Amino acid sequence: MIVRSPALLILLACLAAAGAHAAPSYGERDDVRGFVAEMVERHGFEADRLLALFHKAHPDPAVIKAIQPPADPGSRSWRAYRDRFVEPRRIARGLDFWQRHAASLAHAEATRGVPAAIVVAILGVETFYGRHTGRFHAFNALTNLAFDHPPRAELFRRELEALLLLARDERRDPWSYKSSYAGAIGLPQFLPSSVRGYAVDFDRDGRIDLAASPDDAIGSVARFLAEHGWRGGEAIAHAVKVSGGDTPNSPAALIAEGIRPARLPSELAGFGVDTDGAPELPAALIDLATPEHPTEYRLGFNNFFVITRYNRSSFYAAAVMDLAEALRAARP
């Protein structure tokens, strides 16, 4: 006769219940099998091997939770966002990173036209110079988002496709890539399509490694910005003051036009924008709002828009700009 304690019986019951309600493997789903068929037809993958990869994948609620937008978008605060990145510890670590990798940063600036301070700032905002590169398996995270996050499923299916192609190119197991919850890889947090499109072997060791080679990360960020239209020597943004209400010729009308630079500063006076001192370059009016505080406004020029191609947020681009300026000011 086997005697089991009440605690053990409860544990066994819980395990049985969990098994009975466990979600099926992704490899058993029709939509995943359809994706596999597409990969076989378009890229010559072997169906059995792909299905084996998906049979290992499992639903991860942490991924879906992390990708959700804030419950109250109106509570976003530019001041709080900026303070997360433009702060003493990140500046100090950025200065150390700049000193240790000065030669690579100078080479990237000379060949791509992207200032070293901008590259350093992006790596600081993205991963605190490699300290926080993600704890998820990129394959599992992207599988979750591609098949269980309808609002952006198309984007993440493309990234899942790119990850499989990247792994084949690099002769790696797709499960070997660690990433953020969104599948972003390495120090610069490149999505797989960006790794394939813009990553470079900047340290010339015969392989691209954005997770372990700061030099590869530096060269890759510089290439990404350059190929998205960075213009060396041009301003990024210019602080302005605005006045006027919500009328057809008001700052609100300019903001509604979006962040792509489209109007010269000389045009903006009629919209209540004081552009004193701004270079005469195509610009967009950027609003950086903080609840219960006056909104900060900047004219965003081409290079500001280019930074938003890295992360499509005006808060992000403004924080990169401000961290870069703080790093420049603190350098000996």
The DSSP secondary structure of 262-306, one letter per residue, reads: -B-HHHHGGGTEE-TT--SS-BEEEEE--TTSPPEEEEE-HHHHH
Task: Mark out the alpha helices in the chain (DSSP H runs).
Answer: 6-21, 30-43, 47-56, 61-67, 78-85, 88-100, 102-112, 116-127, 138-148, 153-170, 192-198, 214-227, 251-256, 265-268, 302-310, 314-330
CB 194 within 8 A of CB 217: no
Cα distances (angstroms) measured from residue 34 to each of 71, 87, 93: 33, 48, 46
Determine how many CB atoms are found less than 10 A away from the CB of residue 273.
24
Strand 178-179 and strand 237-242: the pairing is: unpaired
Q: Which of 126, 159, 267, 296 is catalytic?
A: 126
Distance CA(137)–CA(213), nearest Å, equals: 19
CB 222 within 8 A of CB 112: yes
Secondary structure class of 179 (helix, strand, coil): strand
Half-sphere exposure of 267 (CA within 13 A, CB side): 13
Distance CA(135)–CA(133), nearest Å, equals: 7
User: Is 41 noted as a catalytic residue in this protein?
Assistant: no
Positions annotated as catalytic residues are 126
